[in-house]
Structure 1
């Protein structure tokens, strides 16, 4: 059995790649999909995991059903309303976007065969002709315009309205976007907006229970708390090339909802599923020693955190928040809960982000831990004593940490509760919730006024703003955003604006350094761990699967021609 460690650790010059992504057109980048196929520019480096899948399209076997696991049920089929990564995983092969981000962070053409700046702050997308939705209607510029504009007022509104001023339909297959101003993450944001039929907005098509996109797979059924099933779309637009076959080799995909990680392990070992997404960390060594299984591990674009309700004293006091942070046993959590998978987190931005080199990121993360957030009982007691006095709160303070029913997250929450209860300042209890109930609770208007610390995971992306913008922007208070603690800091807001409006990578680097420093000192939330994306699959059946580092995109490797990826099943 092989464990693909080359996908786990990498330190490529990602900044040189992203310099070409700010305002430049997509054409010519490594792995870009043009009108006639895939073109690769010689000399462009790729990170581990970013090269063409080893599966051979000429020998790929057709047919079969892939059975994989979800750790939670699907909550939402409407991309504009989806607030959880499981839903994004579920419809990732059903919907498509104008652009897509490959396994190496390069931006590739998808439904748009070109995307370029044609005037100052005006970008033109030319669509592929002959692309059809699963209901048989043809993709046009009207569908694109409706897709973007319907985000207004919805939970994911900032995905569009952080940059979107207006759009103009030039013809059936051409649309131009006018930006509010300079916006560095534009193409990353464009790549996160699944295109839906215009009929959804007019009420002629309902996607709340039946997602309809242009993707390589179409929806079959959803059995709540049991399974989600999709099947190959026979009229998919891709014509094939030397790297990827014209149609997805796998005919049907069934995602079984298995909330207990130990049950995922048992299902994989018993042959009930072929691929487990996020299996128990304790099982990975055993799987790695078994030649029948392949373990893929890759540093992830996401982290675990606890968000403080700043409208409740004493959490309005930064010293109290930082004092709690000093009592979080991160190294113990990584070792004991995650079996050494991941890295203790002392800031919000992952090292896969475009603005930091690996060594620079490591030094910054370590320094912020030492100066502000790392485990230190003596400093914690001093901060808590001062903070409680300033807030006028008498200890011990009764409070609750709330968490969804994720076994590992529950474990680290309990460790933190024990650490806080060992002081004279807190009496902490832990409440667990089913995932969909939990999302409604932490994304509600009262998330910052309840005496509850929120424990949650956050999915970032390739751009640094994806890790912080929605969480700490003062205009993103719940329920209209994801600033769950209703944190407000004018200097943070200014840096967020500068970060997204600045294209120069060196300038962005300094902006985000300043930002994470302020957030470490002010501590509106405390960070726990940067994780890894981990998949285990039966390699006697599954061939060519690659692990994607961004949460929500875990199954991109099944079939994504724009990114040079596909998977097939052995029929032997």
Structure 2
């Protein structure tokens, strides 16, 4: 080849390469602009959250990180309405109750498939409830109850039977006023009996439900991936093809990940960051209806805390207003009862323990601790709507306690271990909180503070026989006025016994990309994401 031909050939090759690279570059730039502009087409949502799930079997856990995921894999007989706790159809189309309140009959949705291809029917419902009633006998080899089932139903359910292929009937031992609301709670989903038999105690790692998304992958402390279930019964849903739940423990790191586009949605937003998020045109704030309480639990079986006067003294020693100013930026109100004011039966006549260090010292002296004592205070290792920074809140409370001579050692553990050890009664005092599951007082007072639930959700090991009788009576009372009176009396007893220091009721916020639409947050904290999409 002569020089002129070689030059033309080289020039042609360079021109082809240049055009190819330019096209590639242009394609990448277009894709980038497409995502940045929020144009339609994005089908994957990355949800940055403060901690990993502890279990993907809803029956075995009580914590919100798990329910954030499982609420989208599984379904229940009854749903809550969008943004409220009103009852709506779910896997059951309708239901009726007998006059004596002991028999409930449900007509089930037909044509629904589990993710493994098996059929949802009445027998599947019976299988799940019989599993919960038996407890963990067939799984872990002991008779440990499933925590939420024990808390919400106990020995209420006498029998569950399939009347027809798509009709199931529940017979109760005694009436339960909150029976239907309990069924709408996140733990009581209907799982595939086939998958439960196949995976046994590993079902938590292989969850199979009827929900809009199916489980794909779980890398511990990193991510959980769920994908669109093509055979989902609700036509046109879900809108997204894939959701990735990313564990990013630090609040600031999650916000940075949102700003850079690494994630599309985050929870555990520092309230101090809300103004800057609102000013960013690429972001938006989502507000959750408030249905929570943050508290410091005082384990009533440990050391000086066995004395009611000591627990009362510690209540006097916490400055709640300062906590709200320092850590909630006004997005909270002081808590004086174990349940929020929006719940029917809330006792607003109760007067909170004021911040009074001298009164606290006086009570400690009366209890025989004029020089105080030593104890551990456990700090939550993950952020929650009701507790944005457990470590800092613990440090502030420690400072208050040391002013009355109570020397505090702050302790923390990995989230799953924290819950397990606290449930076993190993903490002197511990920071926790609760987001209501069904909008009823029973879900706060009975579940968290009754003697029936010691070792499950009653981490303080507090018991009071009078309180127990009131709470059991309230469960069976169908007259709402009488139920409210019973719960108001219960709160008076709890206030005096002081097993908790109720801290705040927060007004939770999430932050997300400005082009997310169709997202409605539930007051229960367990959000369905099947209608979410990118506009």
1:202 aligns with 2:197: yes
Q: 2:147 aligns with which of 136, 141, 155?
A: 155
Unaligned runs of 5+ in 2: 1-38, 136-144, 384-388
1:431 aligned to which of 391, 411, 415 = 411
Following TM superposition, by how much is the alpha carbon of 1:325 offset from its aligned partner in structure 2, in angstroms?
0.6
1:458 is matched with 434
TM-score if structure 1 supplies the norm length?
0.80
CA distance in 2, matches of 1:107, 1:278: 28
Whether 2:197 is the aligned partner of 1:217: answer no
Q: What is the CA deviation profile of residues 220-250 of structure 1, one whole-angstrom value per residue up to 9, with x for unaligned ones?
A: 11111111111110000113xxxxxx22111
1:297-446 residue pairs with structure 2 within 5 A? Answer: 297-356=287-346, 363-364=348-349, 367-369=350-352, 373-387=353-367, 389=368, 393=369, 395-406=371-382, 408-424=389-405, 426-444=406-424
C-alpha offsets along residues 428-467 of structure 1, whole Å, 9 cap, x if unaligned? 11012111111111112xx1xx462121122223111111
Equivalence for 2:254:
264
Of 465, 482, 486, the match for 1:507: 482
Distance 1:457 1:118 in 2: 36
**Matched position secondary structure for 2:379:** strand
Distance 2:289 2:362 in 1: 35
The answer to which of 413-422 and 500-509 deviates more is 500-509
Q: Which residue of 2 aligns with 1:3?
A: none
Deviation at 1:63, TM superposition (A): 5.6
**Quick one: which of 69, 88, 104 aligns to 1:123?**
104
Matched, 1:567 2:532: yes
State the 1:61 CA deviation.
5.6
Aligned partners of 2:365, 2:259: CA distance in 1, in Å?
51
1:170-207 CA-to-partner distances (Å, cap 9, x unmatched) read 11111100112121111111112110122345346652
Q: In 2, distance between residues paired with 1:150 and 1:171?
A: 20
CA distance in 2, matches of 1:204, 1:494: 40
CA distance in 2, matches of 1:202, 1:295: 43
Aligned with residue 72 of structure 2, among 71, 80, 93: 93
Question: Which entry has the higher C-alpha Rg, 1 or 2?
Answer: 2
- Give the aligned partner of residue 234 of structure 2: 238
Query: How far, CA to CA, are the matches of 2:394 and 2:110 in structure 1?
Result: 51
Tell me the matched-pair count.
Answer: 474
Partner of 2:484, secondary structure, is helix
When residues 135 and 200 of structure 1 are mapped into structure 2, their CA distance, relative to the original with a 3 A threshold, is closer
Question: Corresponding residue for 2:33?
Answer: none
The two structures, once aligned, show a CA RMSD in angstroms of 1.8
Q: 2:298, 2:500 within 8 Å by CA — same for their partners in 1?
A: yes
Question: In the TM superposition, what are the counterparts of 1:176-191 in structure 2 within 5 Å?
Answer: 176-191=169-184
- Cα distance in 1 between the residues matched to 2:268 and 2:476: 35
Alignment partner of 1:471 out of 448, 452, 471: 448
**SS, match of residue 292 in structure 2:** strand
Instruction: Indicate yes or no: 2:530 matched with 1:549.
Output: no
Q: CA deviation at 1:208?
A: 2.1
Query: Contact between 1:470 and 1:483, CA under 8 Å: does it hold in 2?
Result: yes
Give 1:118 shift. Answer: 3.9
Contact 2:211 2:229 in 1 (8 A): yes
Are 1:68 and 1:255, in contact at CA under 8 Å, matched by a contact in 2? yes
Q: Residue 70 in 1 paired to residue 62 in 2?
A: no
Matches within 5 A, 1:526-537: 526-537=501-512
- In the alignment, the residues of structure 2 paired with residue 343 and residue 317 of structure 1 have an alpha-carbon distance, to the nearest angstrom, of 28
How far off is 1:304 after superposition?
A: 1.1
Aligned-residue offset at 1:154: 2.1
- Structure 2 counterpart of 1:40: none
Give the helix-richer structure, 1 or 2: 2
Shift of 1:344: 0.9
What is residue 175 of structure 1 aligned with on the other side? 168
Q: CA deviation at 1:406?
A: 3.1
2:84–2:523 contact (8 Å) kept in structure 1: no
> Partners in 2 of 1:549 and 1:162 — Cα distance?
28
**79, 91, 101: which is aligned to 2:58?**
79
Note if contact 2:297-2:459 (Cα within 8 Å) is conserved in structure 1.
yes
Equivalent-residue separation in structure 2 for 1:268 and 1:204 (angstroms)? 36
Task: Pick closer, same or farther for the CA change 1:225–1:345 going to 2, 3 Å.
Answer: same
> 8 Å contact 2:357–2:404 — kept in the other structure?
no
